[in-house]
Structure 1
Amino acid sequence: MGRIDEFLAWAEATARVTRLWNPAPLVRWNSDKSYLLDLAGRGVPVVPTRCIAPGDSYGEEDFEGTHGVVVKPSVSAGARDTARYEPGRGADAERHARVLLGEGRTVMVQPYLPLVEEGERALGGPATEAELRAALAAVPSPDEPLFARVDLVLDEAREPVLIELELIEPNLFLGLDPRGADRLALAVAAAAREA
C-alpha cells in the first residue's frame, strides 16, 4: 500500500458525497494492522503482536521465538515486505525491521504459529459464528461493517486466534462458500434500501 495517504484521502472525500458501506473512519482504522492491538485490548484473542514504531526501543529478544518470528510492516497488502524467520535467525529479523523502520514504517513482530500450515480459517471457511461475531463486535464503529473477512489461525493450544480482520480487502474468497456471493449481494441490496 505504497499510496496509503492518497487512498485514505479518497475514502474521506468520497464519504463526503456518498455513503461508503464500510465508513471512512473504519477504513482508516483498518488500513494499519496495528488494529490487532486495539482488538486484543477489547478481549479478542489475536496472534501475539509487538508493534515497533520508528524511534521505539527494542531488543534482540523481540526477534526470537520458539518457532521463529514473522516481521512485517503494519501498513501493507498482499504480504508485501513480510518475511518469516526461522529460530536462530533473530539477527536477520532485526535487520529486516531496521530497514522498515528506516523507511519510517511501523513494524509488527509476531511469533510464527506452525499450525498456520493447516491453513487460515476465513469467513467462508469453518470458523464458528461465535468467533466471527466476537471479532466484529470489537470493531470501533457504531454499526457492524457491511462486509469483512475474518482470518483465524490456530495457536499452539489449537485455539483460534485472529490474524487479520479485513474490512477493506478486495478478496473476500466468496468462492469458498456456495452462498457467499448471494449473501453479499443481499447485504448490499438491503443496505441500499436503507440508504
Structure 2
Amino acid sequence: MIRRLAWVTTQEARGRDEDEELAVTALRAAGVTVDVVDWDDPAVRWAGYERVVLRSTWDYPQRLGAFLAWLEAVGQVTDLRNPLAMVRWNLDKHYLADLERSGVPITPTLFLEPGDSPAFPAGEFVVKPAIGAGSRDAASYGPDQHDSAAGHVRRLHAAGASVLVQPLLASVAVDGEWPLVFFGGRYSHAASKRVALPRAGVIDDLFAEETNAPHVAEAEQIAVAQHAVDVVAQRFGVPLYARVDLVRDDRGEPCVLEVELVEPSLFLPQAPGAVAALVAALQGTQGGDQA
C-alpha cells in the first residue's frame, strides 16, 4: 500500500488542475502523505516517494528534452506512473497508427513528416503537432484556408515536428468529444467535452478553453475505449490511469481521437463518485511495469 506520493505538476499549471483538490484531499484522508511538486524543481528528492504520479505537467511539449531526461531519472529511483515506456509511446501521436493496426477505430489521420508537402482533406479539418498537449499549436481550417493551413504545417515542420491532419468530423460541432476514464485498466466514468479550437490560429495558453459536463457512456463507446486500453495493457502493462477521447465518425460510430496516458485531466468534478476509484488506484500496486 502506497503511503507517500508525489502529485507532479508545473509552476504554470498551479491552481488550474480541477482534479487536484478533490484527489489530494481524498488521498490525505485515506492516510497517504501527498506533496504537490513541480517536475522541474531541483530541490525535490524523488527517491523519497514510493510513487511519483504525473498529473498537470502541461508544459512538457515546449521542454520535451528536459522532460524526457527527468522521466528517465525519476523512473530509475522510484515508481513512476504511468511508467516510462508507456509515456514515451503516448507522447507522440503516431501511436494512433499502432492502435489502428490493432483494430481500434480511430479518427482518419494523415501524418505529414518534415519534408512532406502539405495535403488536406476536403471540408473542414484540424492541423496539430504529433507531440503536444492541451490542443496547443492545434487549429481548425475551412476548405478555403489551405494556404493558411500550409503555413501552419511549414511552421511546425521548421521546428522539427511531425504533423497530424484530421478531418473535423461533422458530429464534433453537434456532440463534441467524450473522454472515457479508466483506473487500473477498468472503465470508471465519462464526460462530455467541447474544445474551443482557434480558427486558423494557435493557442498561446497551456490548453484550449473547454466546456465540460457529465456523460453516461453508451456500451459501444465503452467497448471501443476498452479495446484501446487493452492494446496499451498488452504492450506495456495495465495503465494506472488512462483517458480515451472518442468522437463519432461520419457513419455515427465511435472512434478514438486520442488516448491520454501522460497527464490527462480526469474530469473528477463531473464524476465526484470516481474520486474513491482514483484513490484506490493510486494507493494500490496495479499498473504498468516499470521501464
Note whether the superposition's TM-score is higher than 0.5: yes
- 5 Å-filtered alignment, 1:18-97, equals 18-55=78-115, 57-58=116-117, 62-65=119-122, 67-97=123-153
Q: Secondary structure at 1:109's aligned position in 2?
A: strand
Q: Who is 1:184 aligned against?
A: 278
Moved more, 123-132 or 87-96: 123-132
Q: Who is 2:231 aligned against?
A: 138
| Shift in CA distance, 9/70, structure 1 to aligned 2, threshold 3 Å | same
Question: Distance between the aligned counterparts of 1:27 and 1:147, measured in 2?
Answer: 12
Compute the displacement of 1:28 (Å).
0.7
Compute the displacement of 1:152 (Å).
0.2
| Shift in CA distance, 11/31, structure 1 to aligned 2, threshold 3 Å | same
Aligned length: 189
Question: Distance between the aligned counterparts of 1:15 and 1:90, measured in 2?
Answer: 43
Compute the displacement of 1:64 (Å).
3.0
Question: Structure 1 length as normaliser, TM-score?
Answer: 0.90
Counterpart residue identity of residue 135, structure 1: A
CA RMSD of aligned residues (A): 1.8
Looking at CA atoms only, which structure, 1 or 2, has the larger radius of gyration?
2
Q: Who is 2:184 aligned against?
A: none
Instruction: Indicate whether 1:122 and 2:153 are aligned.
Output: no
Instruction: Indicate whether 1:5 and 2:62 are aligned.
Output: no
Counterpart residue identity of residue 94, structure 2: S
Compute the displacement of 1:93 (Å).
1.2
Give the helix-richer structure, 1 or 2. Answer: 1
Q: Which structure 1 residue ranges, 5 or more long, are not aligned?
A: none
Compute the displacement of 1:76 (Å).
1.1
The answer (yes or no) to whether the contact 2:86–2:236 under 8 Å persists in 1 is no
Q: Secondary structure at 2:80's aligned position in 1?
A: coil
Moved more, 128-137 or 142-151: 128-137
The answer (yes or no) to whether the contact 1:149–1:169 under 8 Å persists in 2 is no
Instruction: Indicate whether 1:110 and 2:166 are aligned.
Output: yes
Question: Distance between the aligned counterparts of 1:6 and 1:176, measured in 2?
Answer: 33
Give the strand-richer structure, 1 or 2. Answer: 2
Question: Distance between the aligned counterparts of 1:136 and 1:32, measured in 2?
Answer: 16
Counterpart residue identity of residue 74, structure 1: A
Find the partner of 1:147 among 241, 245, 254: 241
Q: Which structure 2 residue ranges, 5 or more long, are not aligned?
A: 1-60, 181-188, 191-215
Provide Cα deviations, 1:73-111, integer angstroms capped at 9, x if missing partner.
111111111110012222221121011111111111111
The answer (yes or no) to whether the contact 1:147–1:167 under 8 Å persists in 2 is yes
